[in-house]
A and B are shown apart, each in its own frame.
Chain A
Amino acid sequence: MSDNKGPGGTPEPQEERRTHDRVVGTPSPAAEKQLLAVDEDPAPAGAGAQLDEDAAKRAERIVALFFLLAFAGSVAFIAYYIGWSGRDGGMHGIFRARESNFWLGGTMALSFLALAIGMTIWVRRLMTSAPIVQERHELQSDAETRAAFNQEFLEGAEDSGITKRPLLRRTLLLAAAPLGLAPLILLRDLGPLPEKRLRHTFWGEAVKKAQAEGKKGVRLVVDGTNKPLKVSDFASPGGMITVLPEGVEESHHALNEIAKSVTILINVPADQFKPAKGRENWHVNGIVAYSKICTHVGCPAALYEQTTHHILCPCHQSTFDATDAAKVVFGPAARPLPQLPLAVEDGYIVATADFPEPIGPSFWERG
């Protein structure tokens, strides 16, 4: 019999396994016959009080082996940490991080898993507790107790006078109400009120400043290199680049301003460009600028296909048509990307006004 027991705790005899399966599954016809003849009781599953001593010894040794393995794992973890990971000035950079993660994680996993396996074999092969039966008691208290409690509760209420004295009761409630509201009031300073913040971007501010200096508008600079763009720089049809208003990096709350004013500049072949009504002079030979912030929930919609002229948002796949005022072609966005009016000044592409509408996702007050 003992030949059935090997390491790893998986040596359940064949028939036993099938018996186990059949409880849940549909009956398997062929093996059934033989099983039925064996009149034994598989339910008590536990080892019972008695163990086959030889088998138990063997199991004990296996468990001990796993515990020793766990010990070795932890020792290796500590040894690696103290003795090896700190060499040449400690762990810095990607290669050492990889090495350290491998050894620390590997030894840690080894010791936890070995301990877990050892314990499981211990429970399964050495613990002699037999299954027992326990009563499930009715959870509800008995009627007498409930009645007694109700009685006491009502008496208490009576004694306190709260049932008899309505003035007391009502003023107490009155006092409690604003007290509950007070902490909510405290949260008011979490942030400023929206006011008109969502309605304009740094483009407007920058254009105003430029026009005050007698210029036509503000230059567009490449996001990342801050290079102002000339018309001739951006003359390849099918071109696309992310631009910002010049000077936005130096503005107060630069990141907030960039998050609203980031814009894509696209060179649509002039023969395929259909300027929208009232926006005939907003482009420069097919060079057109749209807000990069998707009107759905605000991801940067930046995926431009120069063959179809679609602008796709990689988050939720709203698709806009760059040739046709960024109208929505597909997806969950409801409104076109706002367009930035462009012009040329000294050969540079400039924006002559802010976006005509609030950029980004819709909001209640948007209208």
Chain B
Amino acid sequence: MSEATAPKAAAPKAVDAPLTFLDERLGSTTFFKRNVKKVFPDHWSFMLGEIALYSFIILLLTGTFLTLWFQPSMHETVYEGSYEPLRGVKMSQAYASTLHITFDVRGGLLMRQIHHWAAILFMASICAHMLRVFFTGAYRKPREINWLIGIVLFTLGMLEGLFGYSLPDDLLSGTGLRITQGVLESLPLVGTYGYMFLFGGEFPEGMNGELIPRLFTLHILLLPGIFLALITAHMMIMWHQKHTAMPVKNQTEEQVYGYPFYPVFMAKTGAYFLFTFGVLALLGAFAQINPIWQFGPYDPGAISSGSQPDWYMGVLEGSLRIMPNWEITAWGHTLSLNVLIPALGPLGIIFTGAALWPFLERWVTGDNRSHHVNDRPRNAPVRTGVGMAAVTFYGLLWLAGANDVIAERFHVSLFATTWFFRVTVIIGPILAYIITKRVCLGLQRSDANVIGHGVESGIIVASPDGRFSERHEPAREEERITILSKENARPEAPATDANGIPAPGTKGPLGVLRSRLQRAWTFDDIAVEEHEHGNGHEGHELEAGKSDKELRH
């Protein structure tokens, strides 16, 4: 069916007529002409962000379906629907209507489950996408704005998710709201006001059941509107700046190599949308999520063990769990550090750090150029190390949010898990940084080896005097290009010139700090360079073998 391409002459009328119509009114053909062959480089990790985009579209579709039946109301009703075990139970209309969607609307449960799974995947894919962007240095100039948009999207996504899963007013989400209230209350000065203003009075009903309707409006109108705007901006900037490329053959800073948007990339991304929808439908059909009928309606006196939030809030939950109980009471005021620090600290560090990082890196390295070809993670050991430290920090706090499940499944002491996380959350990131950096440098060394001495061929050669060595072959072209994409550290500029005058930008405490950081960034860099002769010429095997040894030991 794809073979039915038109001859090179005039396009058929069915194509021509609408194009002409549009072009006469918008002059759009110039735009189409310019973009129809837009090049998109191929790499599987470039599709992680697309999962987020498509999950968002699916969230809009399924969410709209759910609003057709959902009643955002906290007013009390007695359930008389078709789920037997809850008949005659008093509950809010929000909960009752969610039960109605689940058990009395055909496809309602499926849409609920796809919606929830899509939310999980939306956040997971943003997270994975941001990790990819960070570790490959794709956030560097000129793409800082898109990096910042990404961070805002992830932060708002957490809120959107929290509001969303709170809407059914079940026991689990009610517990989440109770914790939200407690955290809000702990804010110095404005805490109780914030609490009263969010809930319209006291937890949970306020004066007139204000909370759920408010969360509903935020969840379905305000936040999705902001998402739509930010995602559009994100896409337009990406389109305009052209996608980054991996450091492989044919990709340079000046040129991008890949398949044209139309028809190849269009078909690929279309297929990927279908894959995303398909996987979500698969999960929605075969993996149960958020079974609110099992949780029961919200009841302020009730609680379940294993009350956890969705995964993206797990970091906050974990920080709250492992924080020591510090609280200061003085001059008639209470400052709950045991709530404030975990609520604001870890995410503050991660998000602020991530937002500042591109600018910090630019300042430290003094690299003000635009970058379109990504770094290999090993070629920026400090960045990769810091990234892994952040991942470890986040990951440990995230795991700590499930410490009771861990304690229960593996039959270890609950308090021991808490202490384990308290210690590792400090030590873990430091270790991760050190180990990662060493691994990166080791990989750099092996790259230098490959370029300098070639690849081990697996062929053992005996020399006339009885010595054995392995023959080395030159690396393949593609491999050499990838390895040589490394930008070796420039020789450090001397701090002072011959006359003892400090180099520009190194004066003052900031200047000193900058030169120190710059040194830390580059001092152990291993140069990967092509030697004039060392490219696997015949007859160099023995030398190659020897120096290989020297390099290793």
Q: How far is the CB of B123 from chain A (nearest CB, A)?
A: 21
Q: How far is the CB of B103 from chain A (nearest CB, A)?
A: 5
Q: Which 8 residue pairs are nearest across A and B when measured between Cβ atoms?
A: A105-B285, A297-B182, A112-B278, A334-B327, A259-B300, A116-B274, A113-B278, A92-B82
| Cα-based distance from A366 to B189 in the complex (angstroms) | 11
Of A112, A115, A298, the residue contacting B181 (CB under 8 A) is A298
Q: How far is the CB of B193 from chain A (nearest CB, A)?
A: 6
**Residue count of chain B within 8 Å CB distance of chain A:** 130
Contact A119 B257 (CB under 8 A): no
| Cα-based distance from A315 to B259 in the complex (angstroms) | 51
With A129-B264, A256-B204, A332-B338 given, name 14 new contacts (CB 8 A): A23-B482, A24-B482, A27-B455, A29-B455, A35-B476, A116-B278, A119-B271, A136-B253, A194-B196, A255-B204, A300-B303, A331-B418, A334-B338, A364-B190
A134: chain B residues at CB < 8 Å are 37-39, 242, 255-257
Contact A328 B104 (CB under 8 A): no
B281: chain A residues at CB < 8 Å are 105, 108-109, 112-113
| Cα-based distance from A280 to B450 in the complex (angstroms) | 80
Interface residues of A in 18-69 (CB under 8 A from B): 19, 22-24, 26-27, 29-30, 32-33, 35-36, 42-43, 45-46, 60, 64
B304: chain A residues at CB < 8 Å are 314
Interface size on A, as a range, is 35 or more
26 pairs of residues in contact across A and B, judged by CB atoms under 8 Å: A32-B458, A91-B106, A104-B110, A108-B110, A109-B282, A113-B278, A122-B267, A129-B263, A134-B255, A134-B257, A136-B242, A190-B197, A194-B193, A255-B205, A258-B300, A297-B178, A297-B183, A299-B179, A300-B303, A302-B303, A315-B175, A315-B307, A334-B336, A362-B334, A363-B336, A367-B329
Task: Determine whether A292 belongs to the interface, using a CB cutoff of 8 Å to chain B.
Answer: yes
| Cα-based distance from A333 to B324 in the complex (angstroms) | 8
| Cα-based distance from A161 to B264 in the complex (angstroms) | 54
Closest residue of A by beta carbon distance from B257: A133
Contact B267 A123 (CB under 8 A): yes
Contact A113 B282 (CB under 8 A): yes
The A-B contact count (CB < 8 A) is 353
| Cα-based distance from A256 to B404 in the complex (angstroms) | 29
Task: Determine whether B125 belongs to the interface, using a CB cutoff of 8 Å to chain A.
Answer: no
| Cα-based distance from A106 to B107 in the complex (angstroms) | 11
Closest residue of B by beta carbon distance from A24: B482
| Cα-based distance from A331 to B325 in the complex (angstroms) | 6
Contact A33 B197 (CB under 8 A): no
| Cα-based distance from A133 to B326 in the complex (angstroms) | 60
Q: How far is the CB of B420 from chain A (nearest CB, A)?
A: 13
Contact A315 B372 (CB under 8 A): no
Q: How far is the CB of B57 from chain A (nearest CB, A)?
A: 13
Interface residues of A in 55-112 (CB under 8 A from B): 60, 64, 81, 85-86, 90-94, 97, 100-102, 104-106, 108-109, 112
| Cα-based distance from A11 to B306 in the complex (angstroms) | 45
Of B3, B103, B205, B282, the residue contacting A94 (CB under 8 A) is B103
Task: Determine whether B199 belongs to the interface, using a CB cutoff of 8 Å to chain A.
Answer: yes
Of A101, A318, A367, the residue contacting B110 (CB under 8 A) is A101
Binding site for B on A (CB under 8 A): 19, 22-24, 26-27, 29-30, 32-33, 35-36, 42-43, 45-46, 60, 64, 81, 85-86, 90-94, 97, 100-102, 104-106, 108-109, 112-113, 115-117, 119-120, 122-123, 126-127, 129, 131-136, 138-139, 187, 190-194, 197-198, 223, 242, 244, 253, 255-256, 258-260, 262, 292, 296-300, 302-303, 312, 314-319, 328, 330-335, 360-367
Task: Determine whether B7 belongs to the interface, using a CB cutoff of 8 Å to chain A.
Answer: no
Contact B250 A43 (CB under 8 A): yes
Q: How far is the CB of A309 from chain B (nearest CB, A)?
A: 16
| Cα-based distance from A102 to B107 in the complex (angstroms) | 10
**Given A122-B2, A133-B257, A316-B320: A112 in contact with B277 (beta carbons within 8 A):** yes
Of B142, B263, B285, B320, the residue contacting A139 (CB under 8 A) is B142
Task: Determine whether B30 belongs to the interface, using a CB cutoff of 8 Å to chain A.
Answer: no
Contact A100 B327 (CB under 8 A): no
Contact B455 A136 (CB under 8 A): no
Interface residues of B in 419-477 (CB under 8 A from A): 443, 446, 450, 455-459, 473, 475-476
